[in-house]
Amino acid sequence: MAKLNDVPILIRRTHEERILGALRAGGPSTRAELERRVGLSRTTVSEIAGSLLARGALVEIDPASGPRRRGRPAVRLALEPSSGQLLGVDLGHRRVYVAAVNASNEVIGSGVREYAMSTSWSERLDLTTSLADQIRAEHDLSFGALEAVGVGVPGPVSSALLADSRVPDRWQGMSRDAVIDLVRNGLQRHFGARVVIDNNTRFAGLAEAVWGAHRNLDSLLYVRLSDGVGGALVVGGRLVSGAGGTAGEVGHVEVESDGRACWCGKRGCLETVASVPAMLDSIRAADPTVRTFAAAVARCEEPAVGAVLAHAAAALGRTLAATATVLDPQDVVVAGEALRFGEAFLGPARAAFDEAVLPDPRRRGRLRATSLRDEAGALGALTAAYRRSPLLAGYADLAAESSRPTVPRPARAKA
């Protein structure tokens, strides 16, 4: 496998990217046209094009179909639209989302498969590969030329985060390192491609910064409230990891001094107040007749439910305001299943944010709901795989290179 410090392979990839980029921008071209456009030697263009053809990323267009010139007509090279180049995977606790793009950066297939939270990690991995195979078959695609697979997984990914590899119960008893090894090795074996792995909320934040309502954001504070509360931080056009991989983890900011115990070892973290399960627990305590998430959503305007949501949302708003006061991001974006509570949740979050942030009209009103749907994690994983660097340096120029991939809403299939 190529290592990041493997210079010849990196140079080769750069050449490949230049040739693919020239074909994306200029359409089908002869080798001579490519030489002129990318400024590489004839030998290099010929060699790189040969390997892209062999991998199925390119096709040769029959010269007989074009105008004939004197001498031997030149064969033109074109991108193969049904050849997957990158896969983006958002491997969550209750569903996996897979999207494939071709060398033109078009999403050529996507799908989602739901499963129970109790599903083991090896079963989740099997469901991921079978979903990818199903997408390939349904859209008549080829994954033989796959260059990389970007995978977002829940929870902190850095092993430097917590000395004892603490993980929440929802990780099904496996250590974080074991899950990451399982996912990385399994996907590498199945697809024969490089695997880029990170936290799925960080990837969703990256997608929001690159493809969201305000494109190419230089700075963004992103928080996703679902089974847990995760976050991402973009500063100076980079997805920031921090010294130990926890930058952006607003879910573990203490919001109640003697609150519930959190899996991370602390008490009263935002996650213990404002994750969906935490809010549901509080709602059930206030009104035992509300049993399910769907019922809580349907009854969110009722005083007992509304009071719990307002309390959790205020904690969120104040936490984000404190962080935004320090970092001054362009945008503060809230995502996740908590948004299903609508204004009953978002309204008090916005009010608390505006009240606690610096009294500056440009900062007030900065908190908004995400503009992306459930595909955000997979889009971010694709973006990360595309950039090839764990630092994602300079990814912000992506949106300029092509329009945001449009991911069709896939039909939900139960596992």
| Binding interface with Zn ion (CB under 5 A) | 252, 262, 264, 266, 269
**Cβ-based nearer residue to Zn ion, 154 or 212:** 154
* Distance between CA atoms of residues 271 and 22, nearest Å: 46
* Distance between CA atoms of residues 180 and 35, nearest Å: 41
Quote the least distance from Cβ 230 to Zn ion, whole Å.
11
* Distance between CA atoms of residues 287 and 310, nearest Å: 15
Cβ neighbours of residue 328 closer than 8 Å, sequence gap 6 or more: 219, 363
Cβ neighbours of residue 38 closer than 8 Å, sequence gap 6 or more: 15, 18, 19, 21, 22, 45
Phi/psi at 196 (5° precision): -105, 125
**Cβ-based nearer residue to Zn ion, 12 or 260:** 260
Q: In the structure encoding, which two tokens stand for residue 141, read together?
A: 């695609």
**Cβ-based nearer residue to Zn ion, 113 or 252:** 252
Quote the least distance from Cβ 413 to Zn ion, whole Å.
34
Quote the least distance from Cβ 169 to Zn ion, whole Å.
13
Q: Give bridge partners of residue 83 from the DSSP assignment.
A: 142
How far is the CA of 106 from the CAs of 83, 304, 379, 384, in angstroms? 11, 47, 11, 16
Quote the least distance from Cβ 249 to Zn ion, whole Å.
8
* Distance between CA atoms of residues 359 and 79, nearest Å: 52
Q: In the structure encoding, which two tokens stand for residue 20, read together?
A: 């693919």
Quote the least distance from Cβ 91 to Zn ion, whole Å.
22
- In 139-262, which ranges are continuous DSSP H helix? 176-191, 200-211
**Cβ-based nearer residue to Zn ion, 262 or 315:** 262
State CA 208 to chain mean position distance: 9
**Cβ-based nearer residue to Zn ion, 264 or 313:** 264
**Cβ-based nearer residue to Zn ion, 141 or 167:** 167
CB 176 within 8 A of CB 167: yes
Quote the least distance from Cβ 269 to Zn ion, whole Å.
3
Q: In the structure encoding, which two tokens stand for residue 29, read together?
A: 């071209």
Quote the least distance from Cβ 263 to Zn ion, whole Å.
7
Number of H helices, E strands in the chain: 13, 14
Quote the least distance from Cβ 274 to Zn ion, whole Å.
12
**Cβ-based nearer residue to Zn ion, 246 or 370:** 246
**Cβ-based nearer residue to Zn ion, 264 or 280:** 264
CB 119 within 8 A of CB 134: no
